[in-house]
Structure 1
Amino acid sequence: MTTFYNLSAAKPAGDPLLMESLKGKVVLIVNTATKCGLAPQFEGLERLHQLYAKKGLVVLGFPCDQFANQEPETNESMAHTCQKNHGVTFQLMAKSDVNGPNTHPVFAFLKEQLPGTFGKRIKWNFTKFLIDKDGVPIKRFSPLAKPDAIERHIVKLLGI
């Protein structure tokens, strides 16, 4: 049986991030896109990262180019673009598919555990998944849910 902690994902340079290394952390996973109209959410995600990283929150951004080609950046240029345009310092991953035959295993797992209103597909950029300290997916948030609206859920899971 697949659990969150059995999964891994590549960072932009190709180095693996083993999800088991996140045991005991609250994890917020977001499919991102630098040219999306929702890209201002990067600032809100960074704010959550700055406020809660030392208290046990990990924010992981998975860039995705499956929605209207809104992620034209390469893995090599993405982190720089996100830092320059949005102040991002949280961990970005390599570009990944979130739907279709090449769905990244992290998103296949999350969609299975937390199907959305319209089934298991990811509707658009900036769909968010919140995972508790035990690796259990707790809540899925729509692309329109701003990071500030997720904060109370994060605080509760962190126990602060």
Structure 2
Amino acid sequence: SGVFDGGSDTPSSGSPGGSGRPREQPPVLPDKVREFSRAGIEATIRFEIDAFNYAQRTGDFEPVQKVYNTSTCKTCKLLVERFSEILRNGTHFVDGEYTITSIEAITSIGSSGDHLGDAIVAEAQQKEVKLVDKDGKELKKYPPKSVVKIPYSLNFSAGYWIIQRISPGEVS
């Protein structure tokens, strides 16, 4: 980051800020994600939601991509691509935070010895969400979203959890 320190107001995905956006520190991957345990899965998913909320406010998707395997997780890849497209030139979301209401996680060992994790994540967007441009002008509004349950599949490799699949709409 820091490529555009010369005054360009078109930050790359690695340099958040852009005029009008809040400046804040990115979320830090917690040590718990290095545990092959239900607590490790939960820490990974909580980090993913925190990092996604951060990306909505700042346009910086680097932190959330630390726990996404975008080659296997089509939803992860689409989230990053679509939101990166929307959140250009200082455009950002206000009050778009997702809140986790529960995580039910299990670990298992796959038939080939893979360390696997599955979770059902209940989350909601509790406020009306606004998409605003770099000058704070409202571009669009989205209604709050009630609690939805979303299945996650994870893999524990290289010493930490990676999200392999998110399947929105599969659990009611």
TM-score computed with the length of structure 1 as normaliser: 0.26
Q: Choose between structure 1 and 2 for higher RCO, CA contacts under 8 A separated by at least 6 residues.
A: 1
State which structure, 1 or 2, has the greater radius of gyration over its C-alpha atoms: 2
Higher strand share: 2
Higher helix share: 1
